Structure 1
Amino acid sequence: MSRIDSSVRGGSRSLARTALQVTAILCTLGILFQSATAGQVLSRSPGALAVHATGAIVFHVLSALMVVAAVFLWLQPRGSVWPVVISALVFVLGVVQGYIGDQGALSVHVPLGMALALGTVWVLAWSFLAGRPTDRGGL
């Protein structure tokens, strides 16, 4: 039997999940944008560094909002703490990433960018897949 729990379907839980989904989508798009502008910075395109720096600030704001959305979802009944932990790590690593990028240490900056991408995509996937009803009744 497949039933959707009413606490997951409606109310503030649904709003909190939607907020997490939207912020995770925007963070993922931000990471993709940062990857594209990073390539332009490495190829020394004029103005690329300024665009990349602006994208970093936007990502910091979006990742902070993702943490807030994850906290609101966690505070709901039966909320999971994992999105909060991963979102907070993404935010903190993003700040560290920005500092290291300003210092010019690309050997650390690039791998941290990959970690940011993984964390952001994890939150994105979790926000859409967790709590979904499953049909365990077979065929």
Structure 2
Amino acid sequence: MTHAASPATSSTTPIVVGVRALAVLTVANLAWQFVTAAGLFTGGGAGAHGTGAIVLHVVTGLLALALVAHRLVAGGPVWPAALAVVVFGLTFLQASYGSIPGLIVHLPGALILTTGSVWLAAWSFLRLR
């Protein structure tokens, strides 16, 4: 006896699982960035925050690749892949303004990155099939 795949089981494809995992890792990494940013002002240096920035580049890049793959393989919508590519690009802009004089751009940029990343994470669990 065979059964057709239900929408619930089709949402566990490797690409979908990967997108969801990477979206959660991106948001968790941004939380880490917010926590470790205080070290820049208390003399702790950029150590943990700088390492987190590198990890953020990697995770958002992989998320963008996963969403582009989802678009190409499963015919998913264009906007999540486009937003993920923009978020990935913005991580480099963020890094370039990461010094104390650049905080006028860096802090609002962090809010934009967080908004885009949380949006993608929520979408990946609520709408991604």
The alignment's TM-score, normalised by the length of structure 2, stands at 0.86
Q: CA RMSD in A?
A: 2.3
Please state if 1:107 is matched with 2:116: no
Fraction of identical pairs, as percent: 33
Q: What is the alpha-carbon distance in structure 1 between the residues aligned to residue 9 and residue 100 of structure 2?
A: 47
Residues 8 and 14, structure 1, Cα contact 8 Å, conserved in 2: no
* 1:23 match: 22
Deviation at 1:16, TM superposition (A): 0.8
Deviation at 1:50, TM superposition (A): 1.6
> Structure 1 residues 8 and 71 mapped into 2: Cα distance closer, same or farther (>3 Å)?
farther
Q: What is the alpha-carbon distance in structure 1 between the residues aligned to residue 118 and residue 90 of structure 2?
A: 14
> Structure 1 residues 5 and 74 mapped into 2: Cα distance closer, same or farther (>3 Å)?
farther
* 1:121 match: 118
Deviation at 1:102, TM superposition (A): 4.0
* 1:136 match: none
Q: Deviations over 1:100-136 (max 9, x none)?
A: 114731011000000000011011001001156xxxx
* 2:67 match: 70
Residues 16 and 128, structure 2, Cα contact 8 Å, conserved in 1: no
Q: What is the alpha-carbon distance in structure 2 between the residues aligned to residue 67 and residue 131 of structure 1?
A: 14
Q: What is the alpha-carbon distance in structure 2 between the residues aligned to residue 107 and residue 27 of structure 1?
A: 23
Deviation at 1:51, TM superposition (A): 1.3
Secondary structure of the structure 2 residue equivalent to 1:104: helix
Residues 34 and 56, structure 1, Cα contact 8 Å, conserved in 2: yes
* 1:33 match: 32
Q: What is the alpha-carbon distance in structure 2 between the residues aligned to residue 57 and residue 71 of structure 1?
A: 21
For residue 37 of structure 2, what is the amino acid of its counterpart? A
Larger Rg: 1
Q: Which runs of no fewer than 5 residues in structure 2 stay unpaired?
A: none
The alignment's TM-score, normalised by the length of structure 1, stands at 0.81
Secondary structure of the structure 1 residue equivalent to 2:104: helix
Count of aligned positions: 126
Deviation at 1:7, TM superposition (A): 7.3
Residues 94 and 109, structure 2, Cα contact 8 Å, conserved in 1: yes
